[in-house]
Chain A
Amino acid sequence: MSPVDPGPPAQQAPPPGAERAGTQRAGASLGRDAWRRLCRDPVAVVGAVLVLVFVAVALLAPVLAPYGPTDTPGKDVVTPTNVPGPSSEYWLGLDNLGRDELSRILHGARQSLVVGVVSLLFGALTGSAIGLVAGSFGGWVDNLVMRLMDVMLAVPGLLFAIGLAALLGHSLTSVMIAVGTVNVPVFARLLRGSMLTQRSADYAMAITSLGVRRRALIWHHVLPNSLSPVIVQGTLTLATAIIDAAGLAFLGLSGTDPAVPEWGRMLAETQRFLSSAPHLAIFPGLAIVLAALGFTLLGESLREALDPTYRR
């Protein structure tokens, strides 16, 4: 369920001299150029700050959290009709079992980060490997592999993940595999498409005419030049992976261990307290939004920085 690329808008051709100078500069320091553009973009800075805070919270949760995820410091205060909201003692309030909401949200960041990163790595590595095979061999291999990817793409992402998670059993591992698998065809198509464009570029033809072997052409030239859309997609996929994993947890498809707080499940479990204790839904929900927003903003800025023809 990633946002669709609106495509590059029209741009005017630069004068020939400027183009040559630009190519030389870009060739020498494309990465540095992209980095400079990224640092100057306020959207990227906001995204990077959100991502850094999210990662820091996830890594330091046991140090930052005032209580453990299963501790019930407020069990004597909480009654079925009284679930206290934010206070000076419990900054984000208590949950229906008397657990500290802030501590559970901080610990929940760990789960979201792990699910996001593992499912992204699984989806991106498998998908890219498939895309690499299709893009390198072409012909019937490409045709067969890409038709298989088309079949996977025919099922909406969340439904595919639901089917797979239901098959694998209710656990965090199932959620990671399910969310990762949904992204396999996305990365496969992306890398294959990017490789096909690079292979038909003039430089690839020039290298081939110099007698360089196909394997060297692909590994040393085509593949490195095809990776930037994959990196951008990877950042954006982290956002959708966090949202999808929360969605699966919301539907009860993740694990049920209370020691492992998950933002999606925390939201689902508090539905019946909506009128009396809305903070139980609002804070985990905001945590998901901020984490997903960080990766979305960073991914969009990265796309713009790596591809100057793309403009938001």
Chain B
Amino acid sequence: MRPARPARAVRPTCPARSERPPSHGGGTVLRFVARRLAQLVPILLGLSLLLFFWVRSLPGGPAAALLGERATPEKVAQINRLYGMDRPLWEQYLDFLGRALRLDLGVSRMTERPVTEELLSRFPATVELAIVAIVFAVGIGVPLGYLAARRHLTWVDNLAVAGSLVGVAIPVFFLGFLLKYLFAVRLGWLPPDGRQSPRLFVDHPTGFYVLDGLLRGDPASSWDALRHLVLPGIALGTIPLAIITRITRASVLDVLHKDYVRTAEAKGLTRTLVSRRHVLRNALLPVLTVTGLQVGLLLSGAVLTETVFAFPGVGSFLVDAIAARDYAVIQGFILVIAVIVVTVNLLVDAGYGLIDPRVRLR
């Protein structure tokens, strides 16, 4: 006779309401995002203070920086009065903060146009470049990292590891030179610089040249813009590619050793199914975070890449501003990039929380 099975021993008991983990509903997600947003406020305030004092530490003060070689004590005093720089520091800081919130970043000494306007007109170029670079880095890095982990300790793996070590040691500007010399100067396959061939100068409603061509129904113009993006995109995307390859490889290797993968394989699931459902789904979470962290690297790397390829984005504008000591532009550029970087990090963090419920519960 079969002994009676105690039902309570195998059925897990339902915990009391107070003992249950928080629900995964919309409220939790909102609270999670709100908590992350609140953490952003002190960082942005600190950043504004840093930049405020940066301008005030310039040799001779901001007035002398604004006047450049024309600075005389009288003119400096006049500018200080005009811009309220003779007022108490805290008053000046509040004024600076108010203007920054209204996106008023001052006037460029080089072009005598508002800095915000200058940055906005050049931003689409840099965004297009960054998109190409990240597509290149993720498009090659994730499959390569996955393949290296699956073929652990084979020549594919060794090549991926060696490539990623060399990739982080090559300066962006040198790689840019090499690509330009080989593919543009020697082979003539791709254009060496600029955003578009001179013969194609047409109006650009959005500023994104590839998109503009498609909107106008002119695919040749889009293709031309895309060809101009290939070399700088590869140069800019190589360091992120090296990092993403390494992270994907390490993450996949980690997941491949997990008990649940062994269980999935043991119960007879096909390799493709285990890879898709169990390995990639879990292994790509850290890759998402690291890809988000590359935004800062891409935007600062764009400064060097755009210089090598004479690419008219915000980066090359910053280099001109450095040469002309146009501090309003340098300040505005750093502020905008920092805000973008912390916002993207926040979005990645929130995205991670949405995808992986374990993060929300911490």
User: Which residues does A use to contact B, with CB under 8 Å?
Assistant: 1, 3-4, 6-7, 9-10, 43, 147-148, 150-152, 154-160, 162-163, 166-167, 169, 239, 243, 246-247, 250-253, 264, 267-268, 271, 274-275, 278, 281-282, 285, 288-289, 292-293, 296-297, 300, 312
Contacts and interface: CB of A to CB of B under 8 A. Distances in A.
A160 B59 CA distance: 18
Interface string B335-362: 0011001100000000000000000000
29 contacts: A4-B293, A6-B286, A7-B254, A9-B254, A9-B257, A147-B46, A148-B46, A154-B43, A154-B47, A155-B334, A155-B341, A156-B296, A156-B297, A160-B334, A162-B318, A162-B322, A166-B327, A167-B57, A169-B59, A239-B168, A247-B304, A250-B171, A251-B304, A253-B322, A267-B174, A275-B181, A275-B185, A281-B174, A285-B171
B77 to A, nearest CB: 23
A4 B290 contact: yes
B170 interface: yes
B303 interface: yes
B303 A6 contact: no
B258 interface: yes
B26 to A, nearest CB: 29
A150 B172 CA distance: 26
B299 A156 contact: yes
A151 B299 contact: no
A289 B322 contact: no
Given A150-B43, A158-B303, A267-B174, A296 B338 contact: no
Nearest to A278: B181
Nearest to B166: A293
Interface SS, B side: helix
Contacts of B72: none
Contacts of A155: 47, 50, 334, 337-338, 341
Interface of B: 42-43, 46-47, 50, 54, 57-59, 161, 165-166, 168-174, 177-178, 180-181, 185, 239, 242-243, 246-247, 249-251, 253-254, 257-258, 286, 290, 293, 296-297, 299-301, 303-304, 307-308, 318-319, 322-323, 325, 327, 330-331, 333-334, 337-338, 341-342
A49 B318 CA distance: 38
B169 A281 contact: no
Nearest to A290: B169
Contacts of B286: 6-7
Contact of B297 (A1, A10, A151, A264): A1
Top-9 shortest CB links A-B: A6-B250, A151-B46, A285-B174, A156-B296, A156-B300, A158-B300, A10-B257, A293-B169, A292-B169
